[in-house]
Chain A
């Protein structure tokens, strides 16, 4: 029986177990009287069902993990001596051929008699393994049901046990968040370490030239394989800087206007409208930057006699800045609103105008929170991918001129990894090293920003 069918069967068995356990509990309660019963009948049913599912699923999982290993060993050891002497990679190919024969897939070459015999053996062994696993899982499931079934009696504390099982389930779920973080960190770190074994970290962090195309043949021209990431960091900073030059003034002034000047009506309409900007997918901004803003800037540059590249840092930065406006404005709005009214009233009482109050009283009081908001926005800008992939350049230029095309860390990660790739070339692994840098930088920015925001909030509460 295929594992998926077996799983459905186990679930069916569990439903049956639930009803059996529940019936027994009801019968016991009727005989002993409700005062003597500890748990509701449903809990007894759940208890029996849990005993059916958990051991059976664990056994099935173990079986599925070890079955391929055992099959491979058994099939390969039965192969004739000539085939077994092959190097490891070729042996793997032979084994794949055998499996493909059984699955009915396309085989790489016409199979010999040995391979056909091995395929027959593979099919036979797999059938045997499946029959065995079906039998073992069902027997185990039934045995556990029987054991749990006889424990069901009115005084049995089924509820406590079921509840504890649910609690373990909840704990397991909450560990996923940690596992994900560890998974991200380790998977990126391992690949990055493999990269640093081939390229020194100092060259990567401080080298001034980036051309990741490595030569396939030794005599190939123009593929030096230089991995100095400084041009990428500089390009990322340039584009993020332009984005912040747009987002911080516009976002901050919008937040000040909305929280200090705007009528409640305007605020009710304008704030959600501004937040729509944050909900638009980034690929849409990228399309916009590449097809609308890029050509407009190029045309403007021409009319002023400037040479603006069609994939200029300015275009990508401007559009990214617009995307980030709502991040700055809604967070700043929150902190400005958290400034106590008494501070404002005091300032008005001394004769200050509204703008003087805002500049000299509200803004300094809200500054830590605003700094936190800006830091969060910076980390957003550094990690932003689609806009720069579509609207920024690919060549690594070390320049501060916003009219030229620059490339960023995220662009290089995407270009290095798009399409098929092998996992041992430094070109592919370089993407993971860049990813590690990106992950660490954004992590640090976020930790600082969250801390600043939190500390500030506590002051007025």
Chain B
């Protein structure tokens, strides 16, 4: 009988294996968590490492002679005349003065390519604000071409074969000479924050996309907040439970899970094709996004309303308030912080949304800042999408920087929501 082991022995025999499994299982759980968090860290690291260089851009110090013969030949002092002058020629003259040996046409073109086409505009602005400087020679830092910019920042290596580079060896030699004379420097990239989109990465910025996003969120907020709150109040406080209200409820829950691109199809077929609203307008974007945000706000607002204890309602009714007075004077103010929190979270989601906007034509190339919700415009996430598709190396850092700006907006909105919740959270 000694061949059959006792229970104690069986347990003792298996215990080592079981404890090993236990440790493995726990390690697997921790590992899974670390994968998620590790990706988050890797993600932010890559973004910041790629994006922070977009804060600065390369500029070239040039001694520009503000030639009266070019700017204002008849010396009219008329700003309109001066605004139409060929300032880029002044820039070219200044470059030629630095490299007097360069004479051939093709060589000159390569030389002038070191400076951005935006340099002339910068000179124009300078002349407009300092009319007295016309005729003198000034030393200014003018914006360099993006190919120079990525080279100076070290994003593109000099060691690649000449054929694979956008800058040839001759241009490199000129650049080296400029660097020796300390005429190359990194300055704050004001274009990134104040300009619209541009084909030249060194002149491209996020300002018009930011304004477009702002108009869109404004339309979304104005539509979805009142509608969402009203719906929540009706469903939670007034509606009797019947087939209709059940239908509305199921609808709202399902709307919250419809893929965003389907809302884009709705916007295209209904708002643009049937109602004839303008394409690429923040108004249409706002309409589509408010349909998406509405379920989020309704669900949050209903939760906020249910959190108000019945005793408050009964007290109000007991003092002779009508049902509407009870809701409007007592329940709604108490539920408002929760509703606002839900609204901000819904707005943050709308700000990051881009798929439906592609459908309604907000992927257009927009240089100007929109003046109203009816002007063609683009949005921050769509700008990210457009830049991510651009082949120029200089757009990589700008895309990352635009993403960082977008994430900062989202962070501020979500932090506000959390603060609001903490500040006004009540325990009954």
Contacts and interface: CB of A to CB of B under 8 A. Distances in A.
Nearest to A170: B234
A447 B230 CA distance: 25
Contacts of B414: 279
Nearest to B37: A273
A385 B407 CA distance: 19
A19 interface: no
A281 B269 contact: no
Interface in A203-222: none
Given A253-B31, A254-B36, A390-B385, A354 B22 contact: yes
Contacts of A280: 43, 352, 407
A283 B356 CA distance: 12
A177 B252 contact: yes
Interface in A285-303: 286-288, 290-292
Interface stretch (A10-18, A90-98, A399-407, A435-443): A435-443
Contacts of A181: 251, 254-255
A262 B25 CA distance: 13
A48 interface: no
B35 interface: yes
B255 A177 contact: yes
A344 interface: no
Interface string B385-428: 10011000000100100010011001000100000000000000
A435 B230 CA distance: 30
A447 B396 contact: no
Interface string B15-48: 0001101101110111111011101100100100
Contact of B254 (A166, A261, A382, A447): A447
Nearest to A266: B33
Interface in A372-404: 376, 379-380, 382-386, 389-390
Contacts of A252: 32
Interface stretch (A27-35, A80-88, A125-133, A412-420): A412-420
Contact of B259 (A187, A279, A329, A410): A410
A174 interface: yes
B410 to A, nearest CB: 6
A383 B407 contact: no
A8 interface: no
A356 interface: yes
Contacts of B359: 413-414, 417-418
A169 B227 CA distance: 10
B257 A435 contact: no
A413 B265 contact: yes
Given A173-B231, A277-B40, A390-B388, A432 B265 contact: yes
Interface residues of A, number: 88
A253 B28 contact: yes
A229 to B, nearest CB: 16
A177 B231 contact: yes
A6 B56 CA distance: 51
B141 to A, nearest CB: 31
A432 to B, nearest CB: 6
B384 interface: yes
A277 B355 CA distance: 18
A249 interface: yes
Contacts of B257: 376, 379-380, 442, 446
A177 B251 contact: yes
B40 A276 contact: yes
B317 interface: no
A167 B254 contact: no
Given A286-B388, A442-B259, A183 B46 contact: no
Contacts of B46: 288, 292
Contact of B235 (A167, A174, A180, A423): A174
A283 to B, nearest CB: 4
Contacts of B323: 163
A171 B21 CA distance: 58
A376 B253 CA distance: 12
B114 interface: no
Contacts of A438: 259, 261-262
Interface string A160-180: 000100110111011111101
Given A385-B261, A438-B261, A174 B33 contact: no
B262 A274 contact: no
B184 interface: no
A274 B235 CA distance: 33
A299 B3 CA distance: 59
Contacts of B26: 257, 261, 354-355
B293 to A, nearest CB: 11
Nearest to B234: A170
A320 interface: no
B80 interface: no
Contacts of A353: 18-19, 21-22
Contact of B36 (A250, A260, A423, A447): A250
B144 interface: no
Given A184-B262, A261-B26, A281 B324 contact: no
Contact of B322 (A163, A258, A262, A355): A163
A450 B327 CA distance: 30
Contact of B354 (A187, A282, A292): A282
14 contacts: A174-B231, A187-B265, A251-B32, A274-B33, A277-B40, A280-B407, A281-B352, A288-B43, A290-B388, A383-B261, A384-B259, A385-B260, A432-B269, A443-B254
Interface of B: 11, 18-19, 21-22, 24-26, 28-33, 35-37, 39-40, 43, 46, 226-227, 230-231, 233-235, 238-239, 247-248, 251-255, 257-266, 268-270, 273-274, 291, 294-295, 298, 322-324, 348, 351-355, 358-359, 361, 363, 381-382, 384-385, 388-389, 396, 399, 403, 406-407, 410, 414
